[in-house]
Structure 1
């Protein structure tokens, strides 16, 4: 299976950089361990795009991965575009819209446009790739210069495997070559002492299930309080829009029930499917390749 995505303009030569998009969730963690063990090609660099609002368990796990990678001479770098939580609440900051649940005055339900993945994950990652190639924006990257970017997409997510949208970066999918499913990644991580690898996502991601919220409330009270406070703060729209005299015509909510998070009666499902983590190319809102527009981005327009 050839799982290297190729663009017509740049289909020859060798990559200048072999990188891993490290989300610090299950699949990308398994890829890093596999590279350290020689199961897949060694990476020149692993890039973690930090939104600033991951769970403490993700940051603790990332520290373990950094130590493991360092022992095998693989650098791990953290990049970012700010703190998504603080930026959303700061009137002086641009708000990269999150797919928040909306409720219009007439009762119409929808979702806000999703820009957070692009702004806080994909853009910083591309910026770092260009820097390492030696052609930071706005310099044009020559057609013969490109980076290979490994993405942690497993066989059960094959519909999300897609090409990069820039010529200087080509996505590859080593887990597809291995034929691994998410369960295989979990088993491999357990064999290597990382059975407790968390899923990677923002604490306040609207796509969380009741299972996540219930676990957060019970086991991470400070992060639960942070999410509850954020939910209250964004009720009438972004701080910047409100300060500029453009309040939301309706209300924003973190939970799909469209009531305050701390008032939701959470109903976790025993034995339910595990939530998908969020990475630059693996946001739960991203439709399968060729599947049309972004559901989160298309729903509820006109409410804000």
Structure 2
């Protein structure tokens, strides 16, 4: 392959779905952001909402119909670490939780970004004939460390444009992290099409409707601590089994670290358990129907405090 590559970091949420729809349906947009070869990539956390997995299936169909490679990275492919096979696997293994008062970037880094860039390095090695990627070591298939293909690609073609679905109003998320890894500085060029166009979340939804694409719900994990109280209530009512698992993990963590006293935080970090947050929300939103909660869910989603 000789055409330069452009990548869409995909979450199957409203913002990245709008970018994909424009890349497929709008020729001028495609020429601007992916004039050569386009690749769409998403890493599975194992804890996406059912509607998100349904949209992943729709995305796979659309990409196949338009000749766009779509890599949906699951743990069996070898890009996830043994510790972070999924969010549930990690939390159950360590008897911990992800909470508002804790490291909010650990799950994103380990379940989304790290697998994505490992897979991108392997893709470049295979498709462009570059060093790195998968190697056979004594009969064992292993990834070459060091992002060798990414560095080789950057030397030949320049940094890989990585399209990211931050919408207008989220400009602070586009700031370069102070502890950015070297390969990101030297091999990857972040691109924000929605910011360029001044499109906010409502604008992204309208793009999808205008192009005849279904609008997915915001993409976040079922067990995301940055859900608002109304979303916690929605989760408890809509996904009771998943909510029960989340409660079990919280109770498991509280029991393990009981010796820490007040420093032993709940998911919400304010002393209330998930069950108590849901109960308080049920009182607060007593006049809301399930349809009202669905509407709220479609227009809210975590992540606005996170950089890429």
What TM-score, normalized by structure 1, do the two folds share? 0.72
Instruction: Name the CA shift for 1:131/1:77 in 2 (closer, same or farther; >3 Å).
Output: same
Could you say which residue in structure 2 is the equivalent of 1:284? 304
Using the alignment, how far apart are the partners of 2:243 and 2:237 within structure 1? 8
Give the distance between the partners of 1:222 and 1:123, measured in 2 at CA: 29
Question: Match of 2:22?
Answer: 34
Whether the 8 Å CA contact 1:98–1:113 is kept in 2: the answer is no
Q: What is the CA-CA distance between 1:61 and the residue it aligns to?
A: 1.2
Does residue 307 of structure 2 align to residue 275 of structure 1?
A: no
Structure 1 vs Structure 2 CA RMSD: 3.0
3-state SS of 1:47 partner: strand
Any idea what SS the aligned residue of 2:40 has?
A: strand
Q: CA shift at 1:221, angstroms?
A: 2.2
The whole-number CA distance in structure 2 between the counterparts of 1:285 and 1:194 is 28
Check conservation: 1:207, 1:284, Cα contact below 8 A: no
Partner residue of 1:112? Answer: 102
Structure-2 change in CA distance of 1:73 and 1:272 (3 Å): closer
2:227–2:301 Cα contact (<8 Å) kept: no
Counterpart-to-counterpart distance in 2, 1:73 and 1:153: 25
Tell me if the contact between 1:18 and 1:45 (Cα under 8 Å) persists in the aligned partners: yes
Indicate conservation of the 8 Å contact 1:189/1:197, yes or no.
Answer: no
| Change in 2 beyond 3 A, CA 1:247/1:48 | farther
Point out which structure has higher relative CO (alpha carbons under 8 A, 6+ apart): 1
Within the alignment, does 1:225 sit opposite 2:244 as a pair? yes
1:17 match: 5
Tell whether 2:234 aligns with 1:215: yes
CA distance in 2, matches of 1:119, 1:233: 22
Deviation at 1:38, TM superposition (A): 2.5
Match of 2:146 in 1: 138
Structure 1 runs of 4+ aligned residues shifted over 6 Å read: 269-273
Normalised TM-score (structure 2): 0.71
- Out of 100, 114, 124, the residue aligned to residue 115 of structure 2 is 124
Checking the alignment, whether the CA contact within 8 Å between 1:162 and 1:171 is kept in structure 2 is no
**Equivalent position of 1:73 in the other structure:** 67
Instruction: After TM superposition, give the deviation of residue 130 of structure 1 in Å.
Output: 1.4
1:210 CA drift (Å): 1.0
Paired residue for 2:160? 147
- 210, 223, 244: which one aligns with 1:204: 223
Larger proportion of helix: 2
Which runs of 5 or more structure 2 residues have no equivalent in the other structure? Answer: 75-79, 126-131, 134-144
**Offset at residue 162 of structure 1 (A):** 3.5
Distance in 1 of aligned mates of 2:147 and 2:108: 24
Aligned to 2:271: 258
Deviations 1:160-204 (A, max 9, x none): 224574111111111223232211111121234444411111111
Asked if 1 retains the 8 angstrom alpha-carbon contact of 2:38 and 2:68, the reply is yes
Change (3 A) 1:22 1:232: same
What's the secondary structure of 2:170's corresponding residue? helix
* Aligned position for 1:182: 201
Structure 1: tracts of 5 or more residues without a match? 1-13, 102-110, 278-282, 290-304
Q: C-alpha displacement at 1:17, in angstroms?
A: 1.9
Q: Identify the range of structure 1 (119-128 vs 41-50) with the bigger mean alpha-carbon deviation.
A: 41-50
Partner of 2:141: none
**2:38–2:69: 8 Å Cα contact kept in structure 1?**
yes
